[in-house]
Amino acid sequence: MLEDKVLLSVAPVDAADKVNDPEKIAADVLECAKLGAGMVHLHVRKPDGSLTEDLAHFKKTVELIRAKSNIIIEASTGGVSNLTIQQRCAPLYYDAVETASLNVGSVNLGSAVYKNPIDEVKYCVSEIIKTGKTPEVEVFEIGMIHTTLELAKKFNFKAPLLFSLVLGHVGAMPATVEALVAMRSFVPNDMVWGITHAHRESNDILAAAVSLGARTMRIGFEDSHKIDERTIAETNAPIVAHTASLLKSLGKSPMTPDEGREFLNIGRA
């Protein structure tokens, strides 16, 4: 039964990495898939790790993954950079991409300003819908949920609409149970939500989110290298293994990729 399952999404690349190696990333993701990851979240990067609209390196990584796994491929349309919104939307036109992150507002992230003006948001929404991708709305502040619901009045989003509640960035919502409960309370009952804990030091917020009804959970080096309070991982695989064990202790289990597709209506009109 999908009611007792959570979709584990692995975001395997630290934004600070200066080397982006498709073979290394793909090998790590394939191990993560064996251990319970049902989706992989990837940015389009150059070999030096910087964000780009050039899909060559991204496609190589995806092709290596897809050759041995049917894990759901999610592309980011975000990330702090000087790319235009048209450049940020480049992966939407790649058929192997099934889902895409959607950023609906601007926010401070540490010393950086993550800019998402509303006209650019609307362009991204229209391209996600036009290309048939399934959006995952990245929510850094409560107002972004309200913005998404207003957008839903004008755009035909695929149901169920998925929110990823992002906690832990300096300048945005803190990683506290109180903040989690507040954000969760703004998500309508006919929509679904998951958790991303940036700069995670422990698994407390992840566990709290699952207890409150989170249906997706993002983990991996993009957010934290920690397995638990005491242990730093050398690859993403042990983080996924530990999180799958955490789910089991909470009476849950990871969704398979096909279960994730069924749950989120990925690939359907």
Q: CB count, 10 Å around CB of 215?
A: 22
255 phi and psi angles, rounded to 5 deg = -70, 145
Judge whether residue 269 has pLDDT over 60: no
User: Exposed, middle or buried by CB within 10 Å (0-12, 13-18, 19+), for 231?
Assistant: exposed
Judge whether residue 10 has pLDDT over 70: yes
Could you read off the pLDDT of 112-151 as tens digits, one per residue? Answer: 999 999 999 999 999 999 999 999 999 999 999 999 999 9
Q: What pLDDT is recorded for position 79?
A: 87
What is the rounded average pLDDT of the residues 245-268? 95
The label of the residue with tokens 């069924």 reads 262
Compute the distance between CA of residue 229 and CA of residue 246 in angstroms, rounded to an integer.
14
- What SS3 state is found at 65? helix
Dihedral angle of Cα 25, 27, 28, 29, to the nearest 10 degrees: 80
Q: What pLDDT is recorded for position 268?
A: 61
pTM: 0.97
Judge whether residue 267 has pLDDT over 90: no
Q: Where are the domains of the chain?
A: 2-264
Q: Name the architecture of domain 2-264.
A: Alpha-Beta Barrel (3.20)
What is the rounded average pLDDT of the residues 254-260? 98
The candidate with the shortest Cα–Cα distance to 79, out of 104, 108, 114, 49, is 114
Judge whether residue 183 has pLDDT over 60: yes
Judge whether residue 249 has pLDDT over 80: yes
Compute the distance between CA of residue 65 and CA of residue 144 in angstroms, rounded to an integer.
32
What is the rounded average pLDDT of the residues 85-104? 98
Q: What pLDDT is recorded for position 1?
A: 77
Q: What pLDDT is recorded for position 57?
A: 96
What percentage of the chain reaches a pLDDT higher than 90? Answer: 97
What is the rounded average pLDDT of the residues 80-89? 95
